[in-house]
Amino acid sequence: ARPGCAVRQRSLAAFRPDRRALRKVFAVGLPSAVENLAFNGGKLLAQTYIVSLGTDSIAANFIGMSISSFIQIPSSSLGIAATTLVGQAVGRGDEAGARRSIVAATGLSSLALLAGSLAGLPLERGLLGLYTRDPGVASITATLMRWLFAALPIFWSTSFIVPAGFRGAGDVRFPMLVSMASMWLLRVTLGYVLAIPLGLGVLGVWIGMFVDWVARSVLFCLRLRSGAWYRRAAA
């Protein structure tokens, strides 16, 4: 509103909504919102049966997730970058560039996770010491960490970076459907079966999570190879 401002708004009439632009925004935003809602709802449900496993398992699960989230910080940033870079390439009509952006971000993410996992192995005792002195909690968490360090570099990036690239191309429904089905069938249902009826405890919940990553990786890599994600952007 200031007269000398480089970007000046003179009339409220210019704030009329652009329906075409809004449709494009909601076409991407709403499926992503539904996917995140279902994903976090599944994680919340998994927490409810972890509670029944006892305080050591609750603590070990929290510590493991905390360490995992820390290691994933660079990869999460690369997911945002993949969405942006793919969107720019699609805007240029550059399918090869869009594919290269997904592959590069996924590869860099895997390298970052590998470095974090390799660093975490010798530092395992020290990392656990930052959280707990309880030998029972430390023992359960150590087991979870070894599984995590093996699975993260192989399956996490293809599970989360590749679909982030798809979203940059406007391909949001396929990642949404895959994520919802995989979360509820594998992480929630299989995790429950492994943890409670089969007696694996909190490790069973984590194995369900790893199987979820594997299923996502397979389906998203097949989608990437098929090119259907880019044809969705061109439609």
Three-class secondary structure assignment of the chain: CCCCCCCCCCCHHHHCCCHHHHHHHHHHHHHHHHHHHHHHHHHHHHHHHHHCCCHHHHHHHHHHHHHHHHHCHHHHHHHHHHHHHHHHHHHHCCHHHHHHHHHHHHHHHHHHHHHHHHHHCCCHHHHHHHHCCCHHHHHHHHHHHHHHHHHHHHHHHHHHHHHHHHHHCCCCHHHHHHHHHHHHHHHHHHHHHHHCCCCCCHHHHHHHHHHHHHHHHHHHHHHHHHCHHHHHHHC
Give the orientation angle of helix 73-92 with respect to helix 95-120, to 10 degrees: 170
Higher pLDDT, 40 or 195: 195
Q: Contact 101/82 with Cβ under 8 angstroms? A: yes
How distant is the alpha carbon of residue 234 from its chain centre?
A: 25
- 146: pLDDT strictly greater than 80: yes
- 234: pLDDT strictly greater than 70: no
- 192: pLDDT strictly greater than 80: yes
Amino acid (1-letter code) at residue 127: L
- 153: pLDDT strictly greater than 80: yes
pLDDT band at 233 (very low <50, low <70, confident <90, very high): low
- 123: pLDDT strictly greater than 60: yes
Where is average pLDDT lowest: 39-53, 62-76, 152-166, 167-181?
Answer: 39-53
Q: What is the pLDDT of residue 20?
A: 86
